[in-house]
Structure formats: structure tokens, C-alpha cells
Amino acid sequence: MSQRIVECIPNFSEGRRSEIVDQIAAAIEAVPGITLLDRSSDHDHNRSVMTFVGAPEAVEQAAFDAIRTAAGLIDLDQHEGEHPRIGATDVVPFVPVSGVGMDECIAIAQRLGKRVGTELHIPVFLYENAATRPERANLENIRRGEYEALKAEIGLKPEREPDFGPAALGKAGATVIGARPPLIAYNVYLSTDDVQIAKQIARTVRHSSGGLRFVKALGLLVDGRAQVSMNLTDYTRTAIARVVEFIRREAERYGTGIHHCELIGLIPQTALIDAAQWYLQLDQFEHDQILETRLYQAGGANDTGSEDFLAALASGAPTPGGGSAAAYSGAMAAALVGMVARLTIGKKKYHEVEERMQKLVSLADGVRAQLTDAVAKDAAAFDAVMTAFRLPKSTPEEKAARETAIQAATRAAAEAPLRAAGLAVDVMEWAAEAAEFGNANAITDASSAAAMGRASLIASGLNVRINAAGMDDGEATTAWLAQLEALDARARAAEARVQTALKERANLD
């Protein structure tokens, strides 16, 4: 089974005193199971960014320890720097990496926010996917006016009311916590010291003022050079190479150019491969043409955890069982949808559907993570039922408590595969779209995705029904069965679309 990994990239308002940054890093690394992948500090920004990964529980604890450490060492009343900020720990995003979905990262952000507000008495604002208000999804809205404006307005203006913690700022300021997809922090230095040029280019390139979608940008003066500082929030839909070339052309309008570029933190490998493909004009390039990728496929094919899962499935243990297998089938279906979409993106023949395929990649990858996570959750739900049945029943009180526990565990054991069934049908509909509009050479892969999704739906439905049979709550079981009927209708429609696409695009009857 896939290892459960969450990434956290906290930003701290200290980039000049290395001894303080060292203490924050030490607090993170002290948590068992945490790997600190990267740390980066900037003197002019007076800011440090750290990237660490681990299991969800460990990452959540490490983030709390880092926030607590920073709060005791950084005084915002004494802080100055080029980068906007409202807190000692300014922003803490959680990113799903493997075996974890966005929903779980949102839950981590909510729990951490509540704990930071309660135990550390630091105001917390939730942002991006965890935002509780639409206007707070955008970090810039929360950070407008920075620490000084927030200090004056919090507790007075309703829009400044934090999600957790006191409506007052101490010297540690406030912290913004959330969940989001991978982000690329990328800076472009210009061959000039005129910061007004950088500000004008930033205004032109950023989405909020009419520029490129999924680009946030500021114009700053750093190390005596004008800098366009950016966050690229979805590199799969606005490629990094296009952003750089846009800035290059804008700089030429002002009689300057790009001096060099800078990456802050880490970057997904795919983003660099896409940039290389774009600049080298490798229109027919495939990712498995990379030597290291082919070597990994040849030598590491059994390192994915699939063999371990299949061995566990074949063992005499009751878990993992059919529900886990159903979720795994759905995850494979989502993986196939992502594959077909990626085989379509970048092909001239399919230029008109590229944006649709990019969206499919994002959707399929997110659901694949959720269904992979559901493999373990289904097994845990079944184990909880077995535990409830083993409770003592010698006295009337024990019998009543046992029955209550059985009903609660059975409900959870039914709802887990019901969620997986819904995700499987989502994947089937995306598979139909991939079959209709994706790369025709991969149409059978899209069709296979639909078939795997159907298998996931059938197996999940069996698990829902067997648990529903043990429930006393007739209203709930009726609702579950009605949901399965509705999902089956959607699945049949998706299958019909796939069959039509096969006939029309592949001449398969």
C-alpha cells in the first residue's frame, strides 16, 4: 500500500539570524518520522522557508512545534523585510503527497489552527482549500496591510476576526494555516536596479490584475537588483516556461532583461520536464524517454507497495478484503485517466482540449490519492466492527454498550465504501471524457479506466449492502441504497459514452 505522506512548507519571518532559524529547524527535526527536505533563508526578504514531509500525525506535530518555537524567538514589532508578513510563523500550508487526500490536509489545518489558537494564543486564519470564507482563500486578502494594519484592525473590524485564537495580536503576530496543491516559489531577477520596472512587470504578469492565471507576483528590490517574486499556484495549467518568457518580453519593453532566476524550496520534477520540453520544442516527447525514469521502471517496479498489498490481500487475514480491493481498483482507474490526459497534453493535434486534459490530471490525481487512502480506511473500519463484536455482554449495561458500538462501527463500515463508490463513478465519468476527447492512441486505456471504475463500484456496493443489512437504522440504509442506485445510473451513462467513443474513434464494436 502507498505510504501516507504529507508535505508542509512553513514560512517564518526571520532570514537574517541563522541561530534562530537553526532552532526552528531543530524543533521540526526532533519529531520522529519527519524528514526536513529543504531550508532556505533570504536576508532582504528577512524570511525563511522550510520544507518537511512525513506521516500526517507527525507533520501536524512538527508544524505545531515550529510555530511554538518561532513565537518565542521572533518579535514582529522589531521585524523589517521586503516580503509581506503578519506573523512570526507567517503561513503554514499542507500539501497531499501520497496516500493522503486534500480533505485530510484540510482537517490537519483545522486541528492545528484550533490548537495554535487555544494553546499558544496566536490568532489563526485559514486559507486556500481550508478557508472558511471565500475571500480568505486568497492569502493576499488576509495579509493586506501586513502585521501593522492587522494589529490596528483586529478586534474592531468583522473581516479581521480570526478563525481561531484571540482577536488581538501579540509580538508573534498571527498565523495563516491551510491546505493547497503543490506551489512553485520562483523569482526572476532583472538586469536593472529600477524596482518600478519589477513592480510594473509583476502587475502585468499576475492574475489578480489581468495577467496569467495561477500566477501571483510582487516587484521587489533584492540584493540591489529588481526582482519579480512569484508563486505559481498550478504549474500544470500555467507552465513555468511560459511565465518566464512572458516576463522576458515585458522586460525588453523597458530596455532590460532577465539576469538570472531563483527557485525557493522544492519543485515537482514534472514542472522541470515540461519546461525542458517547451524550450527544446520536443513536441513528441514522452516522460519515459528519460533514462532515469526507464531505469526506475526496470529496477523499481516492485517498490510501489503493490506486491505487499496483494500479498496481504491473499493472506488468511480478514483485512484487507473486498472493500480495500474495491478502493484499490478505483485508484487504478484514476491513475489510468491521469495517464491518458498526460498523453494528450502537449500534442498539437489536441491543442483545443489541452485545458480540459490538464483539469482531468488534477482531478484524477486528487481522487487517486483519496482512493489509495481509502484502502487502509476500509480495513480499519472492518477491524472496528470486529472489535465491537468482541466487547463483553455479560450484563444488560454491557450488552447495550456493545450494541451501540456495533451499530456505530457498522455505520462507518458502510459509509467508507459508499464514499469510494461515489469517487469510482466520478472516475468513470472522467474516463468517458478521456475516451471522447483524449489521445485516440490511448482510448483503450480510457476504456480500461471505466471498466476498473465499474469494478470498484460493484465491489464497494456489495460492502455497503452487507453492512446495511446489519443496521437497525432503516432510514439510513434506505438512503444508502438509493445513493447506490443513483450511482449505478451515472455509471451506466458513462459506460455508454465510452462505448460510443470506441465505435466512433477506434472502430471497435
Domain-embedded: residue 315: yes
The Cα–Cα gap between 89 and 74 comes to: 9
Residues 259 and 315 in one domain: no
Note the pTM of the prediction, 2 decimals: 0.56
Q: For residue 257, give the CATH number of its domain.
A: 3.30.70.670
The pLDDT score that the predictor gives to residue 301 is 41
Question: How many distinct structural domains can be found in the chain?
Answer: 3
Residues 55 and 101 in one domain: yes
Low-confidence ranges of the chain (pLDDT < 50): 1-2, 300-304
The pLDDT score that the predictor gives to residue 237 is 86
The Cα–Cα gap between 343 and 337 comes to: 10
Domain-embedded: residue 106: yes
The Cα–Cα gap between 88 and 70 comes to: 6
The one catalytic residue in 45, 83, 90, 445 is 83
Q: Which of 267, 295, 313 lies at the terminal end of a domain, its last residue?
A: 267
Residues 393 and 497 in one domain: yes
The pLDDT score that the predictor gives to residue 385 is 83
Residues 306 and 354 in one domain: yes
Domain-embedded: residue 275: no
Q: Which of 267, 299, 315 lies at the terminal end of a domain, its last residue?
A: 267
The pLDDT score that the predictor gives to residue 296 is 59
Residues 172 and 259 in one domain: no
Residues 436 and 323 in one domain: yes
Domain-embedded: residue 409: yes
The one catalytic residue in 274, 365, 378, 445 is 378
Domain-embedded: residue 277: no
Q: Which of 126, 158, 179 lies at the terminal end of a domain, its last residue?
A: 179
Domain-embedded: residue 434: yes
The Cα–Cα gap between 67 and 60 comes to: 11
Residues 115 and 132 in one domain: yes
Answer yes or no: 378 catalytic. Answer: yes
Please say whether the beta carbons of 198 and 111 come within 8 A: no
Domain-embedded: residue 349: yes
> In which domain, by residue range, is 247 found?
184-267
Residues 426 and 294 in one domain: yes
Q: For residue 154, give the CATH number of its domain.
A: 3.30.990.10
Residues 222 and 313 in one domain: no
Domain-embedded: residue 362: yes
Cβ-based neighbours of 107, under 8 Å, separated by 6 or more: none
Nearest 10 degrees: CA dihedral of 42, 46, 51, 52?
Answer: 130
Q: What is the pLDDT of residues 104-142, one digit of tens each?
A: 999 999 999 999 999 999 999 999 999 999 999 999 999
Q: For residue 458, give the CATH number of its domain.
A: 1.20.120.680
Residues 16 and 164 in one domain: yes
Answer yes or no: 287 catalytic. Answer: no
Residues 85 and 219 in one domain: no
The pLDDT score that the predictor gives to residue 447 is 94
Residues 415 and 454 in one domain: yes
Reference 156, options 146, 137, 169, 143; nearest CA is 169
